[in-house]
Structure 1
């Protein structure tokens, strides 16, 4: 009798665990709806490095490097991007860098970006970026994390995430396998583009690989 009760109890626990796992999968799928995740390929990395330092808008950058993040985005949001000058990492903007009708330093009070980068093991660097908005249900949020070789100034790897699902935080993380020996840092940049544009950035200290 005791064995039968234990068997029934075990079956109930197993069913509960399976239901819990199904719920977790459902929630994760719901969170990923209307979320775009990308890892830059060789062509995109080449474009990023070619564009670095040029006087372009945020919309120019997105159209040339990450058009996939603009799919289905409202024209009003694109207009906000077009009004902002791209602020390049490791380079302070000057008056001559921007046109008179574009803003040099967008408001950052509503957005916070954090970057992370470190050596995982003898073959791997892990880099990431997170963008958080203090405004509930932003119409669009984006973050880009770039692994940069501090000696050459070249972006060696990049990953990005965007969402138009009204979520207030997005994170992008990627492992770079077998990078060349050298000194690296992670730069993360993110923004919300509606109802008002706001951006922030963060850069990690330089670390040595391997």
Structure 2
């Protein structure tokens, strides 16, 4: 039966039914959209939550890259030292060298940014500092990728092809760097099953 065949007395009821169907259909679409958004952001939020669970703890690591690097011959320790709203700072100690801090920032769009804060012993910024990149997608609960950003390309032209990534599971945290188009690969793995005594404050920290 089409509209022309509906008795006049039933037509308002028909219109109400059609409007209700449209409303329910739009509601379904909205639910799907919101569910998709929740799923989109859940992976980076899960990663952030899992990393935040280590706040205050320090762990020893080992260089596991295929090639050795004499700059990292000392004891390697990461310390999830500062966890503010939307920002986690992780000093990375190499022996007595306390110049390096990884800074992770949670962006409003659900993506995570990685920056490298390098300091001199007197606390002043190194000439090469604040390089890194922002994740191009929400990644997963266990892995986040950070391709070099424009600031990094301007500061270090050779690093334009850098891609950093961090993996995190119940037993280990790895920090990795691959320079596309070259043989450069750096990976250090930290054992999360055995916390160690945190070192002294990194250079430039007042607390």
- TM-score, normalised to structure 2, is 0.34
Q: Over alpha carbons, which structure has the higher Rg?
A: 2
- TM-score, normalised to structure 1, is 0.34
